[in-house]
Each structure stands twice: as structure tokens, then as C-alpha cells.
Amino acid sequence: MSIKRYGVGGSTGTGGQRLPFAKAVEAGGWLYVSGQTPMKDGEVVEGGIIEQSRLAIQNCVDIMESAGYTLEDVVHVKVFLTDARYFQSFNKVFSEFFADHPPARVCCVADLVVDCKVEVDLTCYNAERAK
């Protein structure tokens, strides 16, 4: 089984710092997408939980799709919110992406190392890619 890493060396975080991890790693039909925040061009996009949730999820989807996976391949999502009051609003956005193929999920409240409201990561599986 080979391991393929996506987005190594070219990723930057807030303030332009180089990020020391891959955007995603693929092995044996599994794709693990690193936690994504509502960032564009290395900076957090301002906005409420709806806008930030949509961008964090979309950032995951963009990485996943660039690796050749689809929303149907998502089997698990981890969500970190900075405030429990964001839960219902986040679920509305989550449903926009995953209503047709809901994955398993965990959602918790945590302090984030980036000044934003939400971070999302996901895990995909595609049996065709396991060969």
C-alpha cells in the first residue's frame, strides 16, 4: 500500500507561516483531510458562524475533490466549534453539503489555535482507490 500526501510544502497559515503538515493524506482508499478553518489565502475570513462554517467545509471539499474523492465518499467528519450556541447554525450549513449522504460525525466545543469560530476535518473512503 502506498501513501500519497497532498498539499505538502505549499500551505500557509495566518501571517504567512508555513504549515508543517499535509492538507490530506491518502492510503489504501482512505483520505484524511487535515482540519480546515474559514481561511482564504492564509487569512481567516470574517463573518458569523454560517459564513465561517460554509467556508471551512468548502475548504475540506476542495481538498477532497482535488484528490479525486466526492461527497459520497465522506464517511466521518470532526467539527470543533468555539461556542455551543453555534451548534444549530452549523447543522444547517452541514446539511447543505451532506443531506444526501450523511456521514458519521463528532462535534465538540474547543478553543482553537486560529481566531475563528469553527474547524472541520473529514475522512473519506473509496473502494476503487484501494486497489
What is 3-129's CATH number? 3.30.1330.40
How far, CA to CA in Å, does 34 sit from each of 41, 89, 92?
A: 16, 23, 22
CB 60 within 8 A of CB 15: no
Say whether pLDDT at 25 is over 90: yes
What ranges do the domains of the chain cover?
3-129
Q: What is the mean pLDDT of residues 86-113?
A: 97
- pLDDT digit string (tens) for 62-96? 999 999 999 999 999 999 999 999 999 999 999 99
CB 39 within 8 A of CB 95: no
How far, CA to CA in Å, does 104 sit from each of 31, 76, 77?
A: 15, 5, 6
**pLDDT band of 35, cuts 50, 70, 90:** very high
How far, CA to CA in Å, does 109 sit from each of 12, 44, 79?
A: 25, 19, 8
Specify the pLDDT at position 22: 82
Q: 16: alpha, beta or left, given left = phi > 0 and alpha = psi -120 to 50? A: left
